[in-house]
Structure 1
């Protein structure tokens, strides 16, 4: 299971990075077009908003997998490792539940917005795309969170590699 989760998270993050790179190129082209020919890329702001949301969603699983989210451990840093892992496990499980709910609600939102036939203002992209793109990253983050919570609540590190490094 861990190999599949790591591989999927890596692929999602690489896709998120590719989208971010494409957005950066689009921004440069739009700014250059505006400066040189008074012709920016139509809908560049709409594309940027949708693209950045997608990037964040795709990179969340990788961040969760490697514990790269914000942690406030001021009150728990003096606790024994087992207690800290138990608290981290509870927090990770809560994060997984939240991501599950967000994934389900964004998928439901995509269906509702599609039924309403909403489109972006400038280039007329279907708005449901923006919602639908968020659900897979949030769902994978939830699955990784459940897997990590199980490890943490059993007193193990969130990643098996961390177990080897601790020896």
Structure 2
């Protein structure tokens, strides 16, 4: 696996963690505001949905670098090591294709939503931002999976 991709995935995961922490703090503040003063943060649901989607998108590459995705091995429990490696490579290629398709359609969707001037219901934020910010994490996930499919690289050690 390219050390550059692994390091970039680490940075993305760090940003995803910060995003999740920010969403958690905002939810706590909104609940406290609702309970204490009957004034939640306006648009808290919109911001939570966007923030968690962004967090997931940013953390996907790190999960793929470490092959931390769920694997159902019911049918392959007795397969040989070479067979398992081959299946892992095929799985990585299929993931690269699927996530690459998602990244492409997310980017195209961002452009379409931008042209339509769609905005969130409560905060009136441009919706295309959401789509555009999801694409980089998906692209990096596709690249990591593609490298794994080509090289057969296994999980990486944590990159400082």
Q: TM-score by structure 1 length?
A: 0.91
Count of matched residue positions in the alignment of Structure 1 and Structure 2: 157
What 5-or-longer segments of structure 1 have no aligned partner?
162-167
Q: Which aligned runs of 4 or more in structure 1 are off by greater than 2 angstroms?
A: none
What 5-or-longer segments of structure 2 have no aligned partner?
none
Q: After TM superposition, give the deviation of residue 115 of structure 1 in Å.
A: 0.2
Q: After TM superposition, give the deviation of residue 160 of structure 1 in Å.
A: 6.0
Q: In 2, Cα distance between the equivalents of 1:11 and 1:110?
A: 23
Q: In 2, Cα distance between the equivalents of 1:100 and 1:151?
A: 18
Contact 1:149–1:158 (CA under 8 A) maintained in structure 2: no
Q: In 1, Cα distance between the equivalents of 2:137 and 2:73?
A: 26
Q: After TM superposition, give the deviation of residue 159 of structure 1 in Å.
A: 3.4
Q: In 1, Cα distance between the equivalents of 2:26 and 2:113?
A: 26
Aligned residue in 1 for 2:146: 146
Contact 2:89–2:150 (CA under 8 A) maintained in structure 1: yes
Q: Which structure's relative contact order is higher, taking Cα pairs within 8 Å and 6+ residues apart?
A: 2
Local SS of the residue matching 2:138: helix
Aligned residue in 2 for 1:65: 65
Q: In 2, Cα distance between the equivalents of 1:87 and 1:14?
A: 30
Q: Is 1:129 aligned to 2:157, yes or no?
A: no
Q: TM-score by structure 2 length?
A: 0.95
Local SS of the residue matching 1:26: helix
Q: Which deviations, in whole Å up to 9, do the C-alpha atoms of 1:66-111 show, x marking residues without a partner?
A: 1111111111121111111001100110000011110000000000
Local SS of the residue matching 1:110: helix
Aligned residue in 2 for 1:83: 83
Q: After TM superposition, give the deviation of residue 151 of structure 1 in Å.
A: 2.2
Aligned residue in 2 for 1:110: 110
